[in-house]
A = this chain, B = another copy of it.
Amino acid sequence: MTPVVDAADKTEQALFGLVGDRVVISVDAMGGDRGPAAVVAGLVLALSDNVLIAFVLHGDEAVLNPLVAAQPQLSGRCVVRHAPRAVTMQDKPSQVMRNGTDTSMWSCVDSVKTGEATVAVSCGNTGALMAISMLRLRKLPGVNRPAIACLWPSRNAGGFNVMLDVGADVKAEPEDLLQFAMMGASYARNGLNLPRPRVGLLNVGTEETKGRQELKAAFERMPAVAAVGDFEFVGFVEGGDIPGDRVDVIVTDGFTGNVALKTGEGTAKLISDFMREAFGGSLLSKLGALLALGSLRRLQKRMDPRRVNGGVFLGLNGTVVKSHGSADALGVAAAIKLAFDLAKSGFNERLAARVASAGLAGLDAGEQGEVS
């Protein structure tokens, strides 16, 4: 009888055969607006910075094999896993949950479930990715509502703030907001290297009496959670604080967070377009722009949303990074870099330990171990 060698075994042989400490990242090649070629180009870009990454790439092998074969840098570092179908941006999450087992997205998340990869990355349909992730990875014990956290360019020394939830769900109860604070602080500690992050609750004013009922309820209970979660609660913050330096972590419900994220991106895009028009205006300003080119490029780099591409799903048994649907190679590479950093720091294990230690189900302060 021939011994059965399953897919995961083969992957392990291929990726870990030579180097034992590579971080394996599972990538959905089919989800993005720009197609699998942009994703494969992103893998190459990410590898150029980092030799410790290996990939399991999910999608139609007839399309992927030639793309991967054309990139010598991927040789020995990328296994293609065939999935005949792709989730589209129009697919409903509920349908994908019922009939999506043969999609590249499902296969991508399953690589984390089986343990062959540490983190999953997809540019696809956010709702479907969250639905599959919830179904296959399940919520961390003690977590009620998972959240999507994003990085936001800010005035802080590290250059970024964390905001969550930016769209996992359209609402949040006070208990959810408390958990978001705990999870966001843990992400900032591990992802941004901030030992004691400052956390703010997003509201329409900073006075204690302002805002919606669920915010007031969360406000009252937050100091107790901050003591257990080892973060500093600064109280209510406003929209202007999202890119500011008053806090490191902004906590809000997924509806408000999603609108704020897209409003910020839209505003940045508008200004960047206006700038381009302004500098194209006259010969003098064109010459000026030429002289200022280095500074303009640094500015563009600082604000480029592709460089901070990647929302992270928090509160699951495994890490999933959601890249922009429109991500190009640079955007995909940024999402992979984020996935690598989180995998290296053992972020999800730390988050799980923190949640367990805090006894978040009842938010009662349990014994604290050596977790962060």
Taking Cβ atoms with an 8 Å cutoff, the residues of A that contact B are 92, 153-155, 167, 170-171, 202, 204, 209, 211-212, 238-244, 252, 254-256, 258-271, 273-275, 278-279, 281-282, 284-285, 287-296, 298-299, 302-303
Chain A, interface SS category: helix
Q: A92-B209, A271-B271 are in contact. List 4 more A-B contacts (CB 8 A).
A: A212-B255, A242-B266, A256-B256, A278-B295
CB of B212 within 8 A of CB of A170, answer: yes
CB of A243 within 8 A of CB of B267, answer: yes
In the complex, A296 Cα to B278 Cα: how many Å?
7
Q: Name A270's contact: one of B155, B209, B258 (CB within 8 Å).
A: B155
Which of chain B's residues have a CB closer than 8 A to the CB of A268?
267, 271
Which of chain B's residues have a CB closer than 8 A to the CB of A171?
212
Q: Assembly of this chain: how many copies?
A: 2
In the complex, A302 Cα to B273 Cα: how many Å?
12
Which of chain B's residues have a CB closer than 8 A to the CB of A262?
238-240
Given contacts A211-B170, A267-B267, A239 and B261 within 8 Å (CB-CB): yes
CB of A259 within 8 A of CB of B238, answer: yes
Which of chain B's residues have a CB closer than 8 A to the CB of A295?
278-279, 281-282, 285, 288
Closest B residue by C-beta to A169: B204
A-B contact pairs, 16 of them (CB 8 A): A153-B270, A239-B258, A239-B259, A241-B266, A242-B263, A242-B267, A252-B259, A255-B256, A256-B256, A259-B259, A260-B260, A274-B302, A285-B295, A285-B296, A288-B288, A288-B293
Which of chain B's residues have a CB closer than 8 A to the CB of A242?
263, 266-267
Minimum C-beta distance from A231 to chain B (A): 22
Given contacts A285-B291, A288-B288, A292-B285, A243 and B270 within 8 Å (CB-CB): yes
Minimum C-beta distance from A325 to chain B (A): 12
In the complex, A303 Cα to B285 Cα: how many Å?
18
Q: Name A202's contact: one of B204, B259, B261 (CB within 8 Å).
A: B259
Which of chain B's residues have a CB closer than 8 A to the CB of A265?
239-240
CB of B154 within 8 A of CB of A270, answer: yes
Which of chain B's residues have a CB closer than 8 A to the CB of A243?
263, 266-267, 269-270
Which of chain B's residues have a CB closer than 8 A to the CB of A291?
284-285, 287-288, 291
Which of chain B's residues have a CB closer than 8 A to the CB of A267?
242-243, 263-264, 267-268
